[in-house]
Amino acid sequence: MSERETNAGPNPGQASILVVCGGLSTERDVSLSSGHRVRGFLREAGWQVTIHDLDQTLLDYLTAPATRPDLVWPLLHGADGEDGSIRDILDMTGLPYIGSRAKASRTAWNKPIAKNVVRQAGLSTPHSVTLPESIFRELGARQIVDLMVESLGLPLFVKPSEGGSAMGCSLVDTPDRLPQALINCFAYGPVALIEQAVNGTEISVSVLEIDGRLRALPPLEIWTPDGIYNYEARATPGPTKFYAPARLSRQTLAKAQEAALTAHRALGLRDISRADFIVDASGLPLFLESNVAPGMTATSQLPQSALAAGYSLPELYSSLVRSALSPGRSDSPNAGSESFREPGLPSIA
């Protein structure tokens, strides 16, 4: 990989990096796996990397002169790391970090709000409604079911309005299954998003922002035997198959990449993101959600897309580190950025 884009940043061994992972969210195990893999790749590239859990000793570690890192990479999944809270804390410490700022993280974390934002930016997204648990219990399950089915039709996806790794998500193909799906969903949050289930190809498109330049990696197709990419399929190797690039036309792949770049910009994201889409029969990518802390496990989508594009993960992660440590880095997301749909030969060093 070329050094031309990263010569403003430090070299490995010249900066200390703290990877924050774990926490107490329902996605703790995924976060720990992501954190340890990133630490391993960065150490392979020569960086000084330490891992720290989200606990009562973290603030002391971040602020004490003997341990204060040069850069933080928050790899917390779930509410701990993606709702903006940890990023607010990092901003108060004055430490640079990889990833989106707090406000943008909160916007992306809330699926209904994110869908509205990207819709205003010109993207398509499946029709949906939100339902608080209190309304569900006060109005009654039968009345809610009848109204939802009449309004949105079947099948439907029921998912927490805030959350990740498909926890609390259900595919509902008959009216009698909707009440239990909602009850399961409310175990993970007080508000449900009920969304039309579009028949199509599920893909994810990862976006990298390095030295102010945006790149959309090749879209990754996710195939499962039952058509449901649930938590178990995401967290563990199994029958799920991934295709990078996705088995779609070049025109559709390009549209998906452009849509991911649009979502990244519209939501005000920074450094790294992953947008999930369902591509319908006409080849139109329909936005589902954006993730500000994409998983980095062995089965996670961003690393697979990067490897399929020919990138070395140690060098790619080093590029993100150097970019975040660059003296000229702007706090404004996407300031002066260029966009590339096709990464071609690896050029991020």
Widest CA span in the chain? 62
Q: Is 300 a catalytic residue?
A: yes
Q: Give the per-residue SS3 of 202-270.
A: EEEEEEEEECCEEEECCCEEEECCCCCCCHHHHHCCCCCEEECCCCCCHHHHHHHHHHHHHHHHHCCCC
Selecting among 5, 25, 27, 202, the annotated active-site residue is 27
Q: Is 27 a catalytic residue?
A: yes
b vs e for 118-143, b when ≥16 Cβ sit within 10 Å of the residue's Cβ?
beeeebebbebebbebeebeeeeeee
Q: Residue 271 annotated as binding?
A: no
Q: Are 217 and 309 in contact (CB under 8 A)?
A: yes
Which two three-digit tokens encode residue 158? Answer: 């029921």
Selecting among 100, 128, 161, 165, the annotated active-site residue is 165
Q: Is 209 a catalytic residue?
A: no
Under DSSP, the state recorded for 167 is: T
Q: Residue 280 annotated as binding?
A: no
Q: Residue 276 annotated as binding?
A: yes
Selecting among 300, 318, 323, 337, the annotated active-site residue is 300
Q: Are 165 and 234 in contact (CB under 8 A)?
A: yes
Going by C-alpha positions, the residue among 305, 302, 258 that lies closest to residue 284 is: 258
SS3 330: coil
Say whether the peptide bond before residue 10 is cis (omega within 30 degrees of 0).
no
Q: Cα(165)–Cα(180) distance, rounded to whole angstroms?
A: 20
The partner residues of 73 in beta bridges, in order of sequence, read 19
Binding-site residue positions: 276, 289, 291
Catalytic positions:
27, 165, 300
Please enumerate, by residue number, every residue annotated as part of a binding site for Mg(2+): 276, 289, 291
